[in-house]
Amino acid sequence: MENFADLVVPRFLRYVQIWTTSDKRSEETPSTGGQWELARLLAKELNELGAVDAEVTSHCYVLAKIPASPGLENKPAIGLMAHLDTASDVSGKDVKPVVTKNDAGETVIRSDGTTLLGADDKAGIAEIMAAAEYLLSPKLPAEIKHGPALIIFSPDEETGKGLPCFPMERINTLAGGTENALTACYTLDGGPLGELEIECFNAIEARVFFSGRAIHLGAARGELANACLMAAAFAVMLPRSESPEATDGCYGYYCPAAISGSLENAELEVLIRDFDLDRAKERAAALEVFARAVEAQFPGGKVRVECKFQYYNMKDNIDRRPEVLSKLEEAARRAGIACTLKPIRGGTDGSRLTELGIPTPNIFTGGRNFHSLDEWVSVPEMEAACRLTVELVRVWGE
């Protein structure tokens, strides 16, 4: 396994140059056409590697199977998952990756500073593809035996809109033909070397609608209820001490994420995140209190709050299946990687997949500074993620 850099780096450099930024305003899955381009390329490459039944589904999921070593066909099937899209926080178009050295002499890959890099999550894709190339190689040493593994590349993870179209029936067929045939899944969508994640936020998206009363500004005294100002007043009521920039670790937050409107109508998007479900619900209830306070400040104005859960903390469901984590930790030990458990201050497709009954921990990819112009990824840590992935498939085959 000494040459994983030769397998993973060229793939990563190729994938990041495909524009796959997702669009949360779109109701389609996938939300952008570039995801189709990457999906079709990956399916083609998987077919060339010798994966079984490589395909792109009608909603842009890439599926393929790494068959088990002879005699291990009945071992539990696991999934290896990463997502096709990149975030829209900064531009993901015309990415120009730069291979360089950091101050410690470690080989890293950055963008040229005008776009994000796309390590979230094309590093995960490249690492899974490199592991697949190794396991599917006709030169694989005979003593390296492994169970079956499914490769799953999903669209629109960054918008949270891909999982409703998750092809569970097709995946069950590939995994063994029975309901819940996939025993466990692992997302490669994490950060620095050694970080494993089995806990994530509970996530609520709130949309707050402001109905004002418009009138000619020259006659506004005592009559105007400015919906734009109502939205701004609501936003500043959100506690600054409970914002993303003021919290870390296991502390939750409110985040005003988007605002738009006019004198007559305005809208505010508020993201609520908390590891504790009851506390997340309390935050949602607090928005109603803020709404009534704004109405009191703006006679004639109305405020309506709509909340929906986006995903739940996956920890309880993963804890019910301790072997899912213990096998991952054993694979890390064999790969010579010291690992730590860290809560995700966010969520992955694994959060939603765990809700569907398939426990899905998250594995590091070596990336840093996701969703920013300063994003980069460590090549040695990408190699480590490849080694861990190979060992994980082997451990499940025992």
Q: CB neighbours of 226 closer than 8 A, spacing ≥ 6?
A: 212, 263, 298
R_g of the chain computed on alpha carbons: 23
Q: Is 316 a catalytic site residue?
A: no
Determine contact, residues 95/17, Cβ cutoff 8 Å: yes
Enumerate residues 6+ apart whose C-beta is below 8 A from 90.
115, 116, 371, 372, 373
Query: Is 307 in contact with 205 (CB distance < 8 Å)?
Result: yes
Q: Give the separation between CA 134 and CA 140, rounded to whole angstroms.
A: 7
Q: Residues 23, 159: contact at Cβ < 8 Å?
A: yes
Do the Cβ atoms of 311 and 271 come closer than 8 Å?
Answer: no
Token look-up 């840093």 returns 368
Give the H or E element holding residue 256: strand 253-261
Sheet with 253-261, edge to edge strand ranges: 253-261, 265-274, 202-211, 302-311
Question: What span, in angstroms and rounded, lies between the C-alpha atoms of 18 and 20?
Answer: 6
Is 85 marked active-site?
Answer: yes
45, 85, 121, 391: which one is catalytic? Answer: 85
- Cβ neighbours of 176 (radius 10 Å): 18
SS3 content of the chain, % helix, strand, coil (to 5): 35, 25, 40
Half-sphere exposure of 271 (CA within 13 A, CB side): 18
Residue 280 CA to residue 73 CA, distance in Å, equals 43
- Please, how many CA atoms are within 13 Å of residue 156, restricted to the half-sphere of its CB? 24
Task: Please provide the DSSP assignment of 135-187 as one string.
Answer: HH-TT--TT-----EEEEEES-TTTT-SGGG--HHHHHHHHTSSTT-EEEEEE
Active-site residue identified among 127, 157, 197, 383: 157
Please identify every residue annotated as catalytic: 85, 157
